[in-house]
A = this chain, B = another copy of it.
Amino acid sequence: MRIAMDIKETPDSWYNIIPDLEFSIPPVMNPSGYPLNHHDLEYMAPYPIIDQELERKERRIAIPEEVRDIYSNWRPTPMYRAERLEKSLGTTARIYYKYEGCSPTGSHEMNTAIAQAYYAAQDKDIKCVVTATGNGEWGASLATACTYFGIKCKVYMVRSSYEEKAFGRYLMEILGAEVIASPSDKTPAGRKALARDPYSQGSLNVALSEAFNEANSRDDAKFLWGTVMNHVLLHQTVIGIEAKAQMHKAGSDPDIIICAIGGGSAFGGMVFPLYPGRKADTRIIAVEAACCPSLSRGRYAYDYGDAEGLSPMLKMYTLGHNFVPPSARAGGMRYHGLSPLVSALYREKQIEAKTYSQRQALEAAITFARVEGLVTAPETAYALAAVFDEALKCKERNERKNILFLLNASGNLDLDTFKEFIGGAMEDPASSEENINAALGQLPEISERKTG
């Protein structure tokens, strides 16, 4: 059952959660250990994005008309009640999901890609945007958004994904983006990684450093973030703003909100708008991959976003910017840290974290596909594992709760992952204690005194 919204109900502003939090968010720091200012971020982003990154007071940030027009090409996205799934699980819970798979690239990443490409294109000095991507969802979304505004897009893509999960790469190249396998010999960070290991399969940390290197060395290019940063989560709040209205239309208030978490952009986009008006006993669950348990096993500390320490320092749950997760199929879930805003919510015990293995996640996704007729991205699979658990608990306890989860992306670019899993050939990766502790031992030193 679809809970529809009219095109006129497409949100006209993004929601900034900071003014509604009862606690303060530690500032982003520059490498000298001082809170970041506009100037520190100029190399990184167009001006309006810097404003959004640093905004602390305004709850509503207006969406530019040109951006809203493009959102309206597929927004408001549908919400569905998964009645066949409820029946199949025999649960007394109602299960709702917000569906972002209907965007042009099949993923929520379009929401921020459009905004960022728009702001970049407004600045006549910017001819090219540079970014890093794992399996290509973010890169493909940015490549798509760049076609709308006629600017060039260059993407450093983790080599293992570039070679093995090539469909994300194909999509970017068809759309006209330039895609470089990382580590490459084209940047200092890439050459350093290749010197360490000439056969390196890459990691998002290194790809990010390469993209920073390139953006920093060019006057006509800016780096754009796909997740983690406040402005990215801000753009994603169109998801939760719509979801809130749709749950209201359905006459339901969510008792349990479930969302997978990698860098935190889908999670923040879904959860933040539902946060201030939630019922007192509403549970919010962030679901992590066992291969990269930033919340469950990480440390709440200042850390870099990339391998070379070229990004600002963020106070976040992190496994260390040198952490290299084991090979796993949920590209977006393999990042060492996560959004400072989501990290603060977890620190303040406003949200829970749960961890599932790849096997548990993909099994849940296969079941979902065969009941609801929809193949989700592997990221969503982790959320589904938690949804199944909570729905079955409701069944045991005969509770009629409303479970709401985010289906952040379709599985279009990941069909080979599921196929391999069905074939039984897939390992179940997990991070060793040694691996995690070694990376945590390399967290940067920073004087927290200076932040007051």
**Which of B4, B84, B170, B419 is A173 in contact with, Cβ under 8 Å?**
B419
If A102-B102, A147-B370, A371-B147 touch, does A2 touch B174 (CB 8 Å cutoff)? no
Does the CB pair A369–B148 fall under 8 Å?
Answer: no
A125 within 8 A of B: no
Contact of A174 among B78, B145, B375 (CB under 8 A): B375
Known contacts A170-B419, A173-B419; is-contact A106 B4 (Cβ 8 Å)? no
* Smallest CB separation, A152 vs chain B (Å): 11
CB-based contact A415/B80 at 8 Å:
no
Interface stretch among A67-75, A156-164, A332-340, A395-403? A67-75
Check A343 for interface membership: any CB of B closer than 8 A.
no
- Is there contact, CB below 8 Å, between B415 and A167? yes
User: A27 contacts the other chain (Cβ, under 8 Å)?
Assistant: no
- Judging by beta carbons under 8 Å apart, are B412 and A174 in contact? no
A147-B373 in contact given A415-B167, A415-B170, A422-B173 (Cβ < 8 Å): yes
Q: Cβ of B174 and Cβ of A419 under 8 Å apart?
A: yes
Interface pair A176/B370, CB less than 8 Å apart:
yes
Say yes or no: is A144 at the interface (Cβ < 8 Å to chain B): yes
A147 CB contacts on chain B under 8 angstroms = 84, 369-373
- The proximity string for A residues 289-307 relative to B, scoring 1 for CB distances below 8 Å and 0 otherwise, is 0000000000000000000
**Does A418 interact with chain B (Cβ within 8 Å)?**
yes
Complex CA distance for A405 and B42, rounded to whole angstroms? 44
CB of A366 within 8 A of chain B?
yes
Interface contact A72-B371, CB-CB below 8 Å: no
**Counting CB contacts under 8 A, is A7 at the interface?**
yes
Which chain A residues (115-139) contact chain B, with CB distance < 8 Å?
Answer: none
Taking CB atoms and an 8 Å cut-off, the chain A residues in 138-190 that contact chain B are 144-145, 147-148, 166-167, 170-171, 173-176
> Could you say which residues of chain B place their CB within 8 Å of the CB of A102?
74, 102
Listed residue (A73, A144, A148) with the most chain B CB atoms within 10 angstroms of its CB: A73
- From DSSP, what is the main secondary structure of chain A's interface residues? helix
Which of chain B's residues has its CB closest to A372's CB?
B147
Cβ of A65 within 8 Å of any chain B Cβ, yes or no, is no
How many whole Å from A359's CB to the nearest CB in chain B?
A: 16
Query: CB of A6 within 8 A of chain B?
Result: yes
Are B148 and A84 in contact, CB atoms less than 8 angstroms apart? yes
Q: Is the CB of A170 within 8 A of B418?
A: yes
Is the CB–CB distance between A412 and B375 below 8 Å?
no
Q: Closest chain B residue to A146 by CB distance? A: B373
CB nearest to A141 among chain B residues = B373
How far is the CB of A381 from the nearest CB of chain B, in Å? 12
Bound CA span A272–B170, Å: 36
Q: Please, what's the 1-or-0 string for A396-433, where 1 marks a CB less than 8 Å from any CB in chain B? A: 00000000000000011001101100100000000000
Separation of A80 and B106 alpha carbons in the complex (Å):
18
Expressed in whole angstroms, the Cα–Cα distance for A370 and B147 within the complex equals 6
A369 touching B175, Cβ below 8 Å:
yes
Contact A78–B84 (Cβ < 8 Å): no
A147 to B74, CA, bound (A): 25
With both chains docked as a complex, state the minimum distance between the C-beta of A272 and any C-beta of chain B, in angstroms. 27
Does the CB pair A170–B416 fall under 8 Å? yes
Partner of A104, one of B1, B148, B174, B373: B373
Encode A201-219 as 1/0 by CB contact (under 8 A) with B.
0000000000000000000
Partner of A80 from B73, B84, B167, B416 at Cβ < 8 Å: B73
- What is the CB-to-nearest-CB distance from A437 to chain B, in angstroms, rounded to a whole number? 37
Q: Give A416's nearest chain B residue, CB to CB.
A: B170
Closest to A374 in B: B104
User: 15 A-B pairs, CB-CB below 8 angstroms?
Assistant: A2-B72, A73-B80, A84-B147, A102-B102, A106-B412, A147-B370, A147-B372, A148-B373, A167-B167, A170-B418, A173-B419, A174-B369, A174-B415, A176-B369, A176-B370
Point out the residues of chain B lying under 8 angstroms from A78, CB to CB: 73-74
Give the residues in chain B near A80, CB-CB below 8 Å: 73
Residues of A362-391 contacting chain B, CB below 8 A: 366, 369-375
CA distance A176 to B144 in the complex (A): 32
Query: Which residues of B have CB within 8 Å of A104?
Result: 373-374
